[in-house]
Amino acid sequence: MDTSEEIKERYAQEAETYWKDAWLVNFDAKELFAEFKRIVNLLYPNKLEKINVLDIGAGNGMLTELIMREFPNAHISMLDFSKEMLESAQVIFEKEKFSVRNIDFIVKNFITDDFPKEKYDLIISSYALHHIRKEDTLKIVYLKIANQLKATGVFLCLDYYLEMTEETRENQVKTAFKRWIKNFNSKEIAKEWAQIIQGEDSPATISLIISSLNKCNSKELDVIPFMLPKKGVMSFIYGMINRKNNSSKKLEDYVNETKKYMGQEEIIASYSFDKYI
Ligand SMILES: C[S@@+](CC[C@H](N)C(=O)[O-])C[C@H]1O[C@@H](n2cnc3c(N)ncnc32)[C@H](O)[C@@H]1O
């Protein structure tokens, strides 16, 4: 089985048990989802706007739900190659009494399939793109995203990352492991997570992400990559914004922060939790 098939198989099995509270509590997702909400509101202050949104690797809709709550008139397309995860999203939405009237469920692979043809105000993604660790593949996916943004559109992604230098990475891994032991209240479960994170869930480095984003600019595509200055232990928020978007000024700080990471050489990093397990 290639990696894509393994990941698909894993989510087919996990669809019913992928429990969002455990997910939110045990990583730094809770703080970063709040930060995500803040940024979305900064970019789209009118909550009644009928924004067109694409959620890539939407799973059972944790991020989709955030958008649904913030923008009740939004039209959202949820794209995921796991039919089971999307079905689980429908069950959750029905349970929470959300209307799925404005939602499309699209079973597609974000690497190998074309995206829907329409243009979006917002393309979002959480904890899905880190599965890509090859610069060429990452660039292809980012280009597909950049091409589907409206002239004022924004891509906003919340995901795992790896620090760049050996020293900062070591600190990151150590802090994450301690945090999992505390949050799960079990070293055994923390160990299982460490195995997952070192396996197919192993994230890309910030420099790989930033260098791939930077390659999306061309004569036709004028996008500015950015990342949030505030990072979690394992997660951060980054993205691109079309230069034509008036809010791009509001994101200037993030753009400046991104610049610090440019010119970094280390693209693919190796790391290990073994020392702490
Ligand atoms: C960790 S889950 C995240 C789900 C959701 N965004 C969240 O934050 O809870 C990753 C999701 O990405 C999907 N995924 C991974 N690789 C994919 C690919 N190549 N194409 C489409 N979906 C993919 C998986 O099926 C899974 O639902």
**pTM of the predicted structure, to 2 decimals:** 0.91
Q: Which domains does the chain have, with CATH numbers?
A: 3-261 (3.40.50.150)
Pocket test for ligand 1, best of 78, 80, 123, 159 (most atoms within 8 A of CB): 80
Question: Does 1 score more than 60 pLDDT?
Answer: no
Lowest mean pLDDT among 6-10, 45-49, 257-261: 257-261
**Residue 166 alpha carbon to ligand 1 centre in Å:** 28
* pLDDT score recorded for residue 14: 75
Nearest to 36 by CA among 101, 97, 98, 127: 127
What gap in Å lies between CA 227 and CA 231, rounded to an integer? 9
Q: Return the top range by mean pLDDT from 66-70, 167-171, 269-273.
A: 66-70
* pLDDT score recorded for residue 273: 84
Q: Are strands 75-80 and 52-56 parallel, antiparallel or unpaired?
A: parallel
For residues 242 and 154, the answer to whether their CB atoms sit within 8 Å is yes
3-state class of 68 per DSSP?
A: helix
Burial class (CB in 10 A: 0-12, 13-18, 19+), 107: middle
Q: What is the number of the ligand 1 atom nearest to the C-alpha of 158?
A: 8
- Cα of first residue to Cα of last residue in the chain, in angstroms, is 29
Question: Does 174 score more than 70 pLDDT?
Answer: yes
Question: Does 22 score more than 80 pLDDT?
Answer: no
